[in-house]
Each structure stands twice: as C-alpha cells, then as structure tokens.
Chains A and B, each alone.
Chain A
Amino acid sequence: MKRETVISVLVRCLIVVGWCAAIGIMLYVPKVIKHLQPRKSINLFSWPQLIDSETLQGFEKETGIKVNVSYFEANEELFVKLKATKGEGYDIIMPSDYMVKALTKEGLLKKIDHSKLEFFRDINPALRGHSYDPNNAYSIPFLWGVFGLGINNKFFKSKLSSASWDLVFTDKLAPHPIGMIDDAREALMIAAQYLFRTVDNLNAEQVQQIKKLLVEQKKRVAMYTDLRTDYLLLAGKCPAVVGLSTEVWKAMRVNPDIDFFIPEEGGFMNIDSIAIPASSENTESAYKLINYLYRVDILKHLVEKYAFFSPLNTVVGQVPDPRRMPVPTARQIKKLDFFRTVFAEKQLNEVWIAVKAE
C-alpha cells in the first residue's frame, strides 16, 4: 500500500513538472523562432502621427520587408518597454534627446554606421553633435521642434508679437483656462526656466518653489496633454497652450488666428532621433528603412502631412504660407535649451505626484 502511494505521488510530481515545462517552452518559443527564421519583417516603435501606413506600404512594396509598427506616447514608456524586453523585439525606435542619453548609458543602443546612410551630410548642422550624443554615434535626428507657447489671438485685444512663460504661470489670462504639458520632466524644467532663468544646479528649496508654482497653476489648467494641443487651440478653449511647435503648426495651418511663440525666457528644443536597439539582429533591413524614410520625396510627404520641421537641408515641405511657419531663427536656436536630466527621479516623482494628487 505504502509503495503504491509513493509511486502515485512521484507520478503526480512528474505530471506537474511536465506541464510546467510545457508552458515554459511555449513562453520562450518566440525567442527561439527569432533566431531560426530569417525575418522578412522589422519592428518599428514610433510616435503616433509621424509615419503613415502609406509610407510603410510603399517600403514593403519596394523591398518586400514588412514593417510592424507599434506606438508609444511618452519616452518613459519607451524606456520601460525596452528595458523589460532587454531591447529585443524592436528594430528601430524613436527616442527623444534625453532618452538617447539614458539609453546609451544602459547600453541599450547600437552604434550607427554613418557610411551606410546616404543622406548623412545633408542633415541640418544645428541638429547634430548636441550634448546628448556628441558624435551622433547612436542617434540620427529625424524630427525636431521647439517647445513654446501656442496662442489663440481671438482672446487678445491685439495680436501678440511676443510671449513669455508668465502667460501660463500667472493669472494674466484668467478666467480662461490654459493647456499644459503632461510630462513631469518637461513641466518642471519649464517652471524652472520661468522662475530662475536656468535649469542647472537647483537646490532643494528651489525645487519646492517649482512644486508650489505647478500646484498653483493646476487650477488654471483645462487639460494636461502632450499630443492634443492643436485640438485645444482649434476648439477655442484656451488662449494659451504649452506645446510643441509641430502640434501648434498643425493648428496654425488651418486657422489664421493661431500663432506660435518661443517665450522670451528661452524655450526648449526637442529632437526625436532614430536609433537601433543593441539586441536588434535586423540591422540590414533597419538601414534600408532609415534610408527610405530620409528620401527626399518620402520625407517631404511626411513633413507636409505631419507638420514637423525637416531634419534635412535639402527637404523643405510645401507650405501654404511659409512666412508663418514657426521655424526658429539661428539666434533663437542659440537660446534654446534641451530637456536634460537635471532632476533626480525621486524629486520628479515627488513634485509630479503632489501636483496630480490635489
């Protein structure tokens, strides 16, 4: 009797182990398949409203390589998903400037071979060699824009000729609401630039002042958003919105009352680059896609459709009113800062949670 129970228990353990192994194998299968199969597809992780499916289908028709695209709406999301999968599964990603630095520090990016890029010499020199990636070894600028103020002139007695961050931080526009950026790092740096004209070497007391300012600002905010500033302006809800020039330009194109200003305090530049994760094995196809995206006709189409500033000197989109396009002058570019990593994660979290918890 006893021996039979022992055998029974052993068999049961075996069954359990067997099923666990089966499930485990099922979970790791994609990893194996990836190595065995030569893939005729690449995975693109991009911002939404940047590359349309027309372009990707054109690429597939030309080269036979299928592009699987998925979207992220915030750099941190990109970072977390990349880290969770150790960079596997993605072949081309589009981090912003500070994210490139963070990713290189983690060793998650692959060096880019400039000789494979046909267009490299044509890249606007103002976009190259910035502190986040001195030799553009890991990233190629794809789109750039400026963070500033989108203004709806209907709310003002006379057309504005310049603007300052105080439009969104003081009660100048009351009772009308404003739109604010929904990103902890960006919001804090804008507040810092407004209060102290600098974002470096801020002590704890200054961070508390920033917190107070942002909490106080909240009652004026209609909506915290990164990508829907054009909607806020066009719907006539807000006289001033903190946003990226790309979004505001989209609204400017259809409504003559809307204007974009780089605030007097300086403003921030944003460069979204193309990068290749270190664990990607599809580099050949990736370079093909990169070269395709920077082709004059393709880039022109994307720039015209999605209203960002072109990275290449040779490509300028056809715009109905080029004088209105909010491209910054060389002098303004000098004054622009980047959203760098100046705050500790803990500080960022503490301030942002305090702002949103109210």
Chain B
Amino acid sequence: MRPWYSKAILPTFVGLAYLFLYIPIIVLVVLSFNAVALNLGWQGFSLQWYYELFTSAEIWQALTNSLVVAFCAVALSLLMSVVLVCYGSPLLHSIRWFFYGTLIVPEVVLAVSLLSVFSFLSIPLGLTTLIVSHVLLGLGYTVPIVYARYISLDNRLLEASLDLGATPTQTFFKITLPLLAPALLASSLLVFIISLDDFILSFFCSGATAQTLPMFIFSVIRSGSSPVVNALSTVMLMISSVLVFIFCALQARTRIL
C-alpha cells in the first residue's frame, strides 16, 4: 500500500499553488482599504480610495472607452465568425487556419505592424483603430471555438429542418443559432475579457481620445502608484468574478471547453 503521505503530496502542492495564485489578489483587496498612500504598511481602515475612484471623471472615461471597445469587439467578431462558419462550408476546413495566426504572433509584433500601417495611411488613431485591433484579436478566438462547436453539430438536424420546408434562413435562425448558443456565449465572454484587459495593442494603437483602463493603470504604476488603482482593481475583480461564474456554470452544463 502506498504510504499515507504520498496521498497528501498532490493536494498540498495544489494548495500552495492556489495560494500563490491568490496572494497578490488578497493583498490588493486588503490594501485598497488602507488609509495611507504609500506602500508603508497597514495604517488603518478607510474607504477614501473608493470615494476617489467613484468621483474620478478620468477613470469613468477610461472605463467607458474600455467597455465600448469591448462590446464592439465582441459584437463584430462574433457576427463575422458566425457567418463565416455557417456559410463558408466548402472552404472552411482550410480557411480556418487563416485565423490562427493572431495567436501565434507575439502581441508586440501585431501592435507595431498595425501602428506602422495606420501611420503610413494617415488613419486617425482613436476608438475606431482600437476597436479594429480588438476585433482582430477576437476573431482569433471566436473562429476556433464556434467552428469546433459547429463541427460537432448533428448535420441531420439541419437537413431535417430543410426537408420539413424551412428556408435556409429560417433554419439558420431557428436551429443553427440556438444549437451554437453555448459556444457563442463562451467566446463572447472570452473576447470581452480579453478586450477589457488588453494592454499592449491598446498602448500602441490608441490616439488622443481613447484611453482605456489598462493604459490608465499602467501610467499610474509607471509614475508612482496611487491606491485608487487598488480600489479600481478590487472592483474589476468583483466584475470578473461574476463573469467567470457565468462561464463556469455554462461550462458545467454544456462542456464547451
């Protein structure tokens, strides 16, 4: 029989790993209630940073920008990949490799090439270019996920629907889309989060009017931190938790991953 402690090795290791994953997050949350600005240890409970967070017009503007870009990125990339997958049948098997490139290239390379092209063509940098680059990122994730789900669909359902007299359009909206729904939801959550958190692409391709949340946080870190960022991170953590919860619930029920 195996000795008693060999059974404990794995859980201990995993426990330590989880601790490693959560130490900085816990520290961040706790310090967001700290009453003093510099990193000089705990000095008392205070909600002042949350107050400053909610009254800072700059952060709200950055948040708005981030959300607008994220929603547009999700909508556009989802739309384009769904029609690509559902209507691109003959070429699809080979064409989908086309889209995997975005994940293979380091983001820095993507960002500088986009910046070079944009500046060469005098395209105004701003929300539009941000959205464009985030949709590019999004396509790299939505196409594989939706494709994987589409392939696993039972073709006979679609054939049956057509046989029973539905037009291709009706079949698309009433049969295909609902069947694809879990994949659509999963990939939209994924793209949403990736767009919200994206830093490198946004840093290179943004203009004057479009400062996103990660860019704001980065410039605060670079120039000496303000604990408002702690409060901001805690709030973002809460939002992420909700989204992750939804994703996990989905995954449990429909096994997308």
A/B touching: CB–CB < 8 A: yes
Interface residue stretch chosen among B82-90, B95-103, B115-123? B115-123
Docked complex Cα distance between A83 and B119 (Å) = 8
When the two chains form their complex, are residues A73 and B222 in contact, meaning their CB atoms are under 8 A apart? yes
Q: Which residues of B in the span 51-74 have a Cβ within 8 Å of any Cβ on A?
A: 56-58, 61
Closest to B205 in A: A84
A115 at the interface (CB under 8 A from B): no
Interface residue stretch chosen among A48-56, A166-174, A322-330? A48-56
Q: Which residues of B in the span 132-147 have a Cβ within 8 Å of any Cβ on A?
A: 132
Q: Which residues of B in the span 158-187 have a Cβ within 8 Å of any Cβ on A?
A: none
When the two chains form their complex, are residues A227 and B223 in contact, meaning their CB atoms are under 8 A apart? yes
A70-B223 contact given A53-B58, A83-B119, A85-B125, CB 8 Å threshold? no
Considering only CB atoms and an 8 Å cut-off, how many residues of chain B contact the other chain? Answer: 30
Considering only CB atoms and an 8 Å cut-off, how many residues of chain A contact the other chain? Answer: 35
A120 at the interface (CB under 8 A from B): no
Of the residues B125, B132, B208, B223, contact of A45 by C-beta under 8 Å: B208
B211 at the interface (CB under 8 A from A): yes
When the two chains form their complex, are residues A26 and B126 in contact, meaning their CB atoms are under 8 A apart? no
Docked complex Cα distance between A231 and B124 (Å) = 37
Of the residues B124, B132, B215, contact of A89 by C-beta under 8 Å: B124
With a 10 A CB-CB cut-off, give which of B39, B58, B122 has the most chain A CB atoms.
Answer: B58
B224 at the interface (CB under 8 A from A): yes
When the two chains form their complex, are residues A70 and B123 in contact, meaning their CB atoms are under 8 A apart? no
With a 10 A CB-CB cut-off, give which of B61, B127, B220, B224 has the most chain A CB atoms.
Answer: B224
With a 10 A CB-CB cut-off, give which of A34, A60, A84 has the most chain B CB atoms.
Answer: A84
A sample of 16 inter-chain contacts (CB < 8 A) reads A27-B128, A31-B124, A56-B58, A57-B57, A68-B61, A68-B211, A71-B216, A73-B222, A83-B119, A84-B115, A85-B125, A86-B122, A89-B208, A227-B223, A227-B224, A228-B222
Of the residues A29, A31, A68, A231, contact of B209 by C-beta under 8 Å: A68
Residues on the B chain within 8 Å of A43, using CB: 208-209
Of the residues A45, A49, A53, A60, contact of B224 by C-beta under 8 Å: A49
